[in-house]
Amino acid sequence: MNKEVKMNVYRFDPNKDKEGKFQEFTVPVKEGMVVLDAVHYIENNMDPTLGVRWNCKAARCGSCAAEINGKPSLMCKTRVDSLGDKIHVAPMKAFPIVKDLVTDVSRNWEIARKIPEFTPKKGLKEPWQIAEIDVSRSREFRNCIECFLCQDVCHVIREHDKDYIGPRFMVKAASLDTHPLDSINRSKFLHEEGGAGYCNITKCCQSVCPEHIAITDNAIIPEKESIVDSYYDPVTMLFKKIRGKHGQ
C-alpha cells in the first residue's frame, strides 16, 4: 500500500474567491482509511478552515456526499485504497456551493413539503394490524439516508432543475404509496407537479445509491406505471392498488 496519498480538495470561499480550484495536500495513509479520514487529517493538521459537512461517519446520516474522482459517493464509505494515489474530492454539482465541499441542499426540503404526506385509511381498528409481507415492500425505500447523491447525478435535475422532484423524492413517494395502510394516490401529484415524465430511466441514480436502493427499477418505474394507469385506465389502477396493498 502507498504510504502517502495526494488529496486534491476543491476549495472555494465565497468571501474571497471568484471561482474554485483544487488544492493538493499530501496525507499519510492508514489501513482501512476512508476519504473522510483523509479530509479530517487535513482539517486537523493542515487547514482547520476546510469546509466539510459530516456527522455520523458511519454511512447512516448521509451528510458527507461529494464527488470523489468524479463519482458521486459518500466520503465516509469510500476507501482510500480503492482509488489509486491521486484523489480528487469535489462538492456535489447539482446544488449551489456554500464553501469548499459544502453545498446548499435546502431545495430538497421544499420538495419534501410538497409530497402528499402519509394519510392513513379512515376507521382502522387500533392497534393496527399489518402483515410483515406488506411491510417488506416499503422497507427498501425507507432505507434512504437522504444523501442526495441520486439527485446530484440525475441529468434531468442538472439540466431542468425546477421541473422534476428527482429520484430521492420518487423513492419517498414510493415509500408512502407502499405503506399498506396509506389511503391516497400520489400519481396526480407526481405527474402534474412532480415532473415524473422527465425521467427517462437512465438508471444513473440507482448506480450511485449508497443504500443500494433499486431507485429506478423498484420506485420510479412502478410509479410511472401507476401514473399511466391512473390517467388512462382508472379501473386497472384501482385494481392494482388494491391488489398491491392487500393481495400477494
Partner 1 sequence: MTNENYKSIDTDLLIIGAGGSGLRAAVEAINSGVSVTILSKSLLGKAHTVMAEGGIAASLGDVDPEDNWKVHFKDTMVEGVYISDWRLVEKLAKEAPDRVYELERMGALFDRTPEKKIMQRAFGAHTYRRLCHVGDKTGLELLRTLEDKILHSSNVKIMDEVFVTKLIKKNDKVIGAVGLDMKTGEFIAINSKSTIIAGGGCGRIYEVTSNSWESTGDGIALAFDAGAELMDMEMMQFHPTGMVWPPGVRGLLVTEGVRGEGGLLYNTKGERFMLRYSPQKKELDARDVVARAIYNEIQEGRGTEHGGVLLDISYKGKDFIMKKLPGMYMQFKEFAGVDITKEKMEVGPTTHYFMGGIKVDTETNSTNVKGLFAVGEAAAGVHGANRLGGNSLADLLVFGKYVGINASAYAKTANLEKIPEAEIKDEIKRVSEFINPNGINPYSLTEKLRKTMSENVGIVRNEQNMQKALSVILDIKKEYKNIGVGGNLQYNPGLLQCLELHSMLEISELLVRGAIMRKESRGAHYRSDYPKKDKKWLKNIVFKKNEDKVESSTFLPPEMPPYLKEILPEETYE
Neighbours of 146 (CB within 10 A): 18
Contacts of 27 (CB under 8 A, 6+ apart): 4, 5, 6, 7, 38, 41, 42
CA atoms within 13 A on the CB side of 55: 8
Q: Closest Cα partner for 158 from 55, 67, 50?
A: 67
Contact with ligand SF4 (CB under 6 A): which of 145, 165, 174, 237?
Answer: 145
CA dihedral 172, 179, 134, 211 (to 10 degrees): 20
- Nearest-angstrom CA–CA distance, 35 and 197: 36
x-or-dash string of contact with partner 1, 44-73, rule CB under 8 A: xx-xxxxxxxxxxxxxxxxx----------
**Least distance to ligand SF4, CB of residue 105, Å:** 10
- Within positions 76 to 135, which residues make up the interface with partner 1, using CB under 8 A? 77, 98-100, 102, 104-105, 109, 112-113, 117-118, 120, 126-132, 135
- Nearest-angstrom CA–CA distance, 196 and 228: 11
**Least distance to ligand SF4, CB of residue 227, Å:** 14
Question: How many residues interact with ligand SF4 (rule CB under 6 A)?
Answer: 29
x-or-dash string of contact with ligand SF4, 183-212, rule CB under 6 A: ----------------xxxxxxx--xxxx-
- Nearest-angstrom CA–CA distance, 138 and 175: 5
- Nearest-angstrom CA–CA distance, 215 and 169: 10
Q: Does 66 bind ligand SF4 (CB under 6 A)?
A: no
Q: Does 50 bind ligand SF4 (CB under 6 A)?
A: no
For residue 214, the partner it binds in ligand SF4, partner 1, none, with Cβ less than 5 to 8 A by kind, is none
x-or-dash string of contact with partner 1, 168-187, rule CB under 8 A: --------x--x--------
- Nearest-angstrom CA–CA distance, 204 and 167: 10
Q: Does 68 bind ligand SF4 (CB under 6 A)?
A: no
**Least distance to partner 1, CB of residue 160, Å:** 23
Run of H or E including 43: helix 35-45
Residue 152, helix vs strand vs coil: helix
Which residues of the shown chain bind ligand SF4 in the complex (CB under 6 A)? 62, 144-150, 153-154, 156, 167-168, 171, 199-205, 208-211, 213, 215-216, 220
Residue ranges binding partner 1 (CB under 8 A): 13-15, 30-34, 36-37, 43-45, 47-63, 77, 98-100, 102, 104-105, 109, 112-113, 117-118, 120, 126-132, 135, 138-139, 142-143, 145-146, 176, 179
